[in-house]
């Protein structure tokens, strides 16, 4: 990895909270809670998920990889977190603010290390060996972008035409 690759990944991590803010800025509580299909997450539940995954999964993993040699990275049961956290009854805007604070910590953590350190890794319980760079790509593509598209789809479906 070089400095340009690092900056590109950091830019993606930094910009995502702004995209979320823009998406949910004018949403009312009914839209936050609306589920497009029974059993699928609402926007509110997705925002809570993003917050919890930032704290329990991504930020925790980056910190472990940076402080330990080849640590074991346990899988996080997102469905258990959603159930136990009663996401649908949480305050979506408070969850978003907490997510933004946690994401800023993630970015600060990753900004502070040189590009060559992004090759440090750990062993994910399900995905196997993973470097910081691979984890960041997974976070951006597999979590951030996936859920942004999901929430945009919900907004489009909910819009009165």
Place 159 in a pLDDT band, splitting at 50, 70 and 90. Answer: confident
Q: For the segment 54-113, what is each residue's pLDDT rounded down to a tens digit? A: 999 999 999 999 999 999 999 999 999 999 999 999 999 999 999 999 999 999 999 999
Residue 72's φ and ψ, nearest 5 degrees, are -75, 130
Give kind and range of the element (H or E) at residue 107: helix 92-111
pLDDT of 161 strictly over 70: no
Residue 46 CA: distances (Å) to CA of 42, 110, 125: 6, 24, 23
pLDDT of 12 strictly over 70: yes
Q: Coil, strand or helix: which one is 76?
A: coil
Exposed/middle/buried for 86, CB within 10 Å: 0-12, 13-18, 19+?
exposed
CATH of the domain at 61: 1.20.120.450
Cβ proximity of 27 and 47 under 8 Å:
no
Query: In whole angstroms, what is the distance from residue 119 CA to residue 78 CA?
Result: 27
Q: Which single residue is written with the structure tokens 């839209």?
A: 31
Residue 64: give the domain boundaries. Answer: 3-158
Within 13 Å and on the Cβ side, how many CA atoms surround 28?
3
| pTM listed for this prediction | 0.94
Q: How many domains does the chain have?
A: 1
pLDDT reported for residue 74: 95
């Amino acid at each position: 990895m070089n400095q340009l690759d690092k900056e590109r990944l950091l830019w993606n991590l930094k910009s995502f909270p702004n995209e979320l803010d823009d998406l949910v800025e004018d949403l009312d509580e009914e839209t936050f809670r609306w589920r497009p299909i029974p059993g699928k997450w609402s926007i509110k539940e997705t925002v809570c998920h993003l917050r919890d995954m930032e704290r329990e999964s991504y930020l925790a993993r980056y910190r472990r990889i940076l402080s330990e040699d080849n640590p074991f990275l346990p899988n996080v049961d997102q469905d258990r977190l959603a159930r136990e956290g009663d996401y649908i009854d949480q305050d979506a805007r408070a969850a978003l603010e907490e997510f933004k604070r946690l994401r800023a910590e993630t970015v600060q953590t990753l900004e502070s290390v040189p590009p060559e350190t992004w090759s440090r890794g750990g062993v994910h319980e399900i995905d196997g060996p993973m470097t910081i760079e691979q984890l960041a790509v997974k976070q951006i593509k597999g979590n951030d972008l996936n859920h942004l598209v999901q929430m945009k789809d919900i907004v489009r479906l909910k819009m009165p035409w």
